[in-house]
Structure 1
Amino acid sequence: MRQLRHRADHFTVLVRQVPLCPEHNTRACAVDHFFSKHHRFSYHSYQMLYDGKDLEYLLGKQKKLKKELEDKRRTDMLSNGSQEHKQISTSEEKLREITNMICHLQNGTMLREKELPVAFVTFKSRRSAALAAQTQQHSNPLELITEMAPEPRDVSWRNLAIPQKILPLNKIGVILAAALLTIFFAIPVTAVQGIAKYEKLKKWFPPAMVIEFIPGLSSVVTGYLPSAILKGFMYIIPFAMLGMAYLGGSISKSKEEIKACNMVFYFLMGNVFFLTLISGSLLDEIGEYLTHPRDIPSHLAAAVSAQGEFFMTYILTDGLSGFSLEILQLGLILFDIIRSYTYGRGKERTPYLFSFPYFRVIPTVSLSIMIGMIYAVVAPLMLPFLVGYFCLGYIVYFNQMEDVYETTYDTCGQFWPSIHHYIFVSIILMQITMVGLFGLKSKPSAAIATVPLILITIAYNEYCKIRFLPSFKHFPIQTAVEIDEEDEKNGEMEAHCVDAATAYNQHQPCLERVKISDESITNLSHPLLGTESI
């Protein structure tokens, strides 16, 4: 509780679809009038969002000019030429002009013309904010839609500018794009799996018979190479899915990563697990499953048994090469080398840190959990390799979280429901495989006895949804009151409330304060517009 008391999002509610005030024709007045009237004793202040594309462009241009000016001044100190002096004076004039334009656009009158129907409303207590976020505010449910605000560092500012009416279309488009990517990616995955089957490889590509004459090459080509190629393909998928999730219109970066996690997991389950299990012609196999659905468990059990060697190699490849690349950060090293010898040459190096890539790590580890659960029944000898994989992964990622990655935002465990769902899917697949395995072993009584396990697992999952899932979606009133009481005892309630009122203003990109002169810079701790004065 003490660790959560400083969070600004516990005092703040995100309000969308703000209507225009009929008296003053501004959305800011509508927010202030509504919450002052209907939340008279708990409402504190508000902060509007603005369409700041022009401001963000000018701010980026100003930063670029500042860097160019610094480089020119260094060059001038070394050369002492008149030409350099003229270029410096020209750049300084451009910089002053852009700075004045930014200050003009950031004044109250200009910002009111760029208001979006979105606002952050701050309350005097966590309890009041939680009640406002979980109740319908307006008689029209499509106006003044409220929810708990994300952490200031976690806000996806550009997505908040997307109109509420367009969001369903964005979500449908993202789902369709992810489904098409999953389906069409089956083509390269199927080609890779053909390498693992040497007899079929010889039919498709007769020159491959040459590898029989080189000792040891056949086992490398059919064993390690498919897993390595597949791992290379899968490295780019999480970033593509994250880009799609960004287009989905999520209000926070963490929600984008959670959506990307879900899409990547189902992509891996479809293209790495199920597509690997399907042997022969893909269309023939799908047709067989559709015409004889009762045979799915037995087909699944037979396919799982046949592909044990491939998945063992996949786990070893992921464990040895994947964790090694994670420690080396090869991508960042290559980026730094390219930057040092190209556009960043001669410039002062600045440290750059990134947040932990949940969207890439969680689905990959969840796939390994699913493979381990299924093969615990079919091929128990794989379990020691999986134990080693998870132990090594724990050491690697513990080090990365502590010393490499930066915590850019805190979700307070919002990824756990997704991880629970992945484990549930893995258990269901394991139990279906058990039914098929007992059928192949001609043990009908054991297969029938396994069916209730599936029903019990589904029932337990539904119970977990009812019991635990609401705690991840809503802020409990009881917890809010307990933290409020603790703050009141310590006399910190007012300070935390004031911090929450200015937190979102400081992080909104278009409201970034600019340096007017070399001697004076405005204080970033104070908002550009008074949150109570509009």
Structure 2
Amino acid sequence: MDINALLISAGINIVLCVVLFSFYSVLRKQPSNVNVYFGRRLASQHSRRVDLCLERFVPSPSWILKAWETSEEEILAIGGLDAVVFVRMLVFSIRVFSIAAVICLALVLPINYHGRDRTHKHIPFESLEVFTIENVKEGSTWLWAHCLALYIITFSACTLLYIEYKSITNLRLLNIVGSPPNPSHFTILVRSVPWSSEESYCETVKKFFSHYHSSAYLSHQMIYKSGKVQKLKDDAEHVCKVLKNASLEKTCKPSFRHCCSGASTNSFKKISNEMDSVNGGTDNTDMNLETTKKECAAAFVFFKSRYAALMAAKVLQTPNPMLWVTDLAPEPHDIYWSNICVPYRQLWIRKIATLVASIAFVFVFLIPVTFVQGLTQLDKLQKMFPFLRGLFKEKIVNQVVTGYLPSVILVLFLCAVPPMMMLFSSVEGSISRSARKKSACCKFLYFTIWNVFFVNVFTGSVISQLSVFTSVTDLPAQLAKAVPSQATFFTTYVLSSGWASLACEVMQIFPLLCNIFQRFILRLKEDALDSSISFPYHTEVPRVLLFGFLGFTCSILAPLMLPFLLFYFFLAYLVYRNQIINVYITKYDSGGQFWPIAHNTTVFSLIFSQLIAMGVFGLKRSTVASGFTIPLLIGTLLFHQYCRQRFLPIFKSNSAQIVIDMDMRDEHSGRMEEIYEHLPLAYSQPSLMEDASSQPQCDKRHEDMDRGQSSSEDMEKGKELFKKDRPRPVQRSVSLNSDKSVLGLNL
């Protein structure tokens, strides 16, 4: 690929971005698109009024200025700690790759360009390989510059990583301390409750915790089997039970005539209600048996203090670790109710099944990746298949096919990956929505790094050499040869997958089309249009980390990528801040759990770039540069181990010191009784709230609480106590950049 092909690809993406951003600046001003581009503001203000510009049909950069001026305190209050962590990822990338771009463009790129004694063409007609480390001749003494650049990039990345890890850890602690009382701090989830033929699960749980946690146990709430299938099954069983006890002459015939007469009956429940009214209602014993039958071997257990709940969640309850399995309960809005009743003994089978399915999906994805690599190396394929020469005679067609089309095809195929990974994470058995999204994020990250980088490198090397690797021992050497040659493809991938994806992200193409279809074709009212979209961390975090991986790996090998990559991070910083402010609704918050993933991926990128550089230095017969890379590799590993010991435990569990101080603070203020009173209300099972036959007053209170329309003083206190509709930001008096100690913990 030559510079012309790269410039054509860049030109196409620039034109596409300018057009889409211009359309967005106009479409966002139209009243009919308010629910698409201002969904978060509509949800928070409960109003469809937004500030609309007078010049509605003229593109303007006002949204860019608003995104730039919004402070991180406002981002925290709007999107929670996860949004701040995501923005910090972009800020870290901008800082580290600014340093890398300055060093590599000023020092490494000229050495690569003049690495061999050759006659250079005009820059537009130069091959991109001339700007890579491949152009440096073997035994060159100038390879020390590449080693020095690698040292500077690694030290800068590690320093910035430490600063960000320390700051985000402090933010997490401040968020816990400064938040209103959280029901999840007093609650644990108990699974794999042992079955007993003599008593129900409810009685078993009460007896166990009353005996072994008598001083701290408050109450518990059983989890029941739910869902549409379970509801139909329960209704059918109830009808059969009533039919068995009822008289056929008095109840069955009138009911069936009533059904056949055309009356609207959408379930078996109406029949059962009629029969219950004739028979005088269902016996209490039958109701108890029915409730016992619907119970799962799981329950929420409430404790009198945060410290007691923390200890109960972390301690092994019985000598058999497969019974009485305890975990800290997720926040009420974070619970993934579909997986709560999954038997604990099935989880390992589900994890193995999803692992096998993920591996199979990776192998299936080899087909489009190989096809993409074939397009990038048409000259090699034309030697194998001469009939292709006639198809690409025009030079402009050849440049478009090799410079733009491959990355676009790969991006289109990658669109099918996130839904599959989310499905795998759901089947895996995650008990919270944030854990499911975090699991999907890790799967998508592994998938993209493997398929976008490693598979492209290996398949490109195979096509280039028209042969396969002879043995496993040849893989490191082949990888060191293949990565520099494939760096040009990754540059075009940054253009297509990076710039274009940001333009599509800000346009919200799919919600926009759905809005047009619902509004102008289905003629739905404005109130019927749904605009509740949560931030897709499971797709955007892997994309940002993948670009960081490509940047670190190719920084000294192909420095020409860095300006395009840096522009992507700048643009992403503005686009995602705009989306967090206006579009995405924060329904739950994981407390910054995505940062350890970002830290680990960045360290892996640094180590991999050092290994590749060491291999390239060896192939170039520069023993000095190769030897000096070894201490850098060891230092990076030691830095990673220190961060794991210093910061990672804070993301896995709350500290006893913090929760005890919070308990003492609430006891002195007299709020504990209010917290105890409203704990069961926070974990009401949504599917049971619609059942009018089971505690109708309690269900009505829960429905009111979900809508924010409580009519009683009790619900008003609960709403103030547990603010579940939005993340709990730190207090305004706390500075995001503060490195002060939290409860005596000097970070």
Tell me the TM-score range normalised by the shorter chain. 0.7 to 0.9
Closer/same/farther in 2, CA of residues 98 and 183 from structure 1, 3 Å limit: farther
Identity of aligned residues (%): 35
Deviates more, 1:178-187 or 1:282-291: 282-291
2:226 is aligned to 52
Closer/same/farther in 2, CA of residues 144 and 285 from structure 1, 3 Å limit: farther
**Is 1:42 aligned with 2:213?**
no
Q: What is the rounded CA distance, in whole Å, between the counterparts of 2:420 and 2:493 in structure 1?
A: 22
State the secondary structure of the residue aligned to 1:319. helix
Task: Work out which of the residue numbers 513, 524, 531 in structure 1 matches 2:701.
Answer: 524
Q: What letter corresponds to residue 410 of structure 2 in structure 1?
A: L
CA contact (8 A) 1:99 1:514 kept: no
2:263 is aligned to 90
Mind listing any 5+ residue stretches in structure 2 that lack a counterpart? Answer: 1-175, 236-258, 705-747
Closer/same/farther in 2, CA of residues 56 and 206 from structure 1, 3 Å limit: farther
Task: Kindly provide the CA deviation profile for residues 170-201 of structure 1, in whole angstroms up to 9, marking residues without a partner as x.
Answer: 10111111111112211211111100112134
State the secondary structure of the residue aligned to 1:412. coil
1:513 is aligned to 690
Deviates more, 1:262-271 or 1:117-126: 262-271
2:202 is aligned to 28
Q: Which has the larger radius of gyration?
A: 2
**Is 1:276 aligned with 2:456?**
yes
TM alignment of 1:212-223, pairs within 5 A: 212-223=392-403
Task: Work out which of the residue numbers 144, 150, 174 in structure 1 matches 2:354.
Answer: 174
Task: Kindly provide the CA deviation profile for residues 367-389 of structure 1, in whole angstroms up to 9, marking residues without a partner as x.
Answer: 10000111112122322222211
Deviates more, 1:232-241 or 1:47-56: 47-56
Task: Kindly provide the CA deviation profile for residues 142-171 of structure 1, in whole angstroms up to 9, marking residues without a partner as x.
Answer: 221111011111112121221111111110
Task: Work out which of the residue numbers 531, 537, 541 in structure 2 matches 1:362.
Answer: 541
Q: What letter corresponds to residue 668 of structure 2 in structure 1?
A: K
1:67 is aligned to none
State the secondary structure of the residue aligned to 2:502. helix
CA contact (8 A) 2:318 2:324 kept: yes
CA contact (8 A) 1:211 1:217 kept: no
Closer/same/farther in 2, CA of residues 247 and 98 from structure 1, 3 Å limit: farther
Q: What is the rounded CA distance, in whole Å, between the counterparts of 1:3 and 1:58 in structure 2?
A: 45
Task: Kindly provide the CA deviation profile for residues 458-508 of structure 1, in whole angstroms up to 9, marking residues without a partner as x.
Answer: 233233223322222222111111222222233222223333322111xx2
Q: What is the rounded CA distance, in whole Å, between the counterparts of 1:337 and 1:352 in structure 2?
A: 13
Q: What letter corresponds to residue 204 of structure 2 in structure 1?
A: A
State the secondary structure of the residue aligned to 1:25. coil
Q: What letter corresponds to residue 358 of structure 1 in structure 2?
A: Y
1:4 is aligned to 179
Task: Work out which of the residue numbers 163, 169, 187 in structure 1 matches 2:367.
Answer: 187
State the secondary structure of the residue aligned to 1:406. coil
State the secondary structure of the residue aligned to 1:457. helix
Q: What is the rounded CA distance, in whole Å, between the counterparts of 2:636 and 2:653 in structure 1?
A: 26
After TM superposition, give the deviation of residue 203 of structure 1 in Å.
4.5
Q: Aligned-pair RMSD on alpha carbons?
A: 3.3
Task: Work out which of the residue numbers 389, 392, 412 in structure 1 matches 2:568.
Answer: 389
Closer/same/farther in 2, CA of residues 524 and 201 from structure 1, 3 Å limit: farther
Deviates more, 1:451-460 or 1:11-20: 451-460
Closer/same/farther in 2, CA of residues 50 and 28 from structure 1, 3 Å limit: same
2:472 is aligned to 290
CA contact (8 A) 1:355 1:406 kept: yes
CA contact (8 A) 1:13 1:149 kept: yes
State the secondary structure of the residue aligned to 2:455. helix
Divergent runs of 4+, >6 A: 86-89, 92-96, 101-107, 282-286
After TM superposition, give the deviation of residue 395 of structure 1 in Å.
1.0
State the secondary structure of the residue aligned to 1:19. coil
State the secondary structure of the residue aligned to 1:461. helix
Mind listing any 5+ residue stretches in structure 1 that lack a counterpart? Answer: 62-85, 528-534
1:68 is aligned to none
After TM superposition, give the deviation of residue 212 of structure 1 in Å.
4.3
CA contact (8 A) 1:13 1:133 kept: yes
After TM superposition, give the deviation of residue 318 of structure 1 in Å.
2.0
CA contact (8 A) 1:19 1:117 kept: yes
Q: What letter corresponds to residue 270 of structure 2 in structure 1?
A: E
CA contact (8 A) 1:211 1:218 kept: no
1:130 is aligned to 310
Task: Work out which of the residue numbers 415, 418, 437 in structure 2 matches 1:257.
Answer: 437
State the secondary structure of the residue aligned to 1:322. helix
After TM superposition, give the deviation of residue 326 of structure 1 in Å.
0.6
Q: What letter corresponds to residue 300 of structure 2 in structure 1?
A: F
CA contact (8 A) 1:366 1:419 kept: yes
**Is 1:18 aligned with 2:193?**
yes
**Is 1:318 aligned with 2:497?**
yes
Q: What letter corresponds to residue 679 of structure 2 in structure 1?
A: A
Q: What is the rounded CA distance, in whole Å, between the counterparts of 1:125 and 1:229 in structure 2?
A: 55
Q: What is the rounded CA distance, in whole Å, between the counterparts of 1:240 and 1:194 in structure 2?
A: 26
CA contact (8 A) 2:689 2:703 kept: no
Structure with the larger RCO, 1 or 2 (CA within 8 Å, 6+ apart): 2
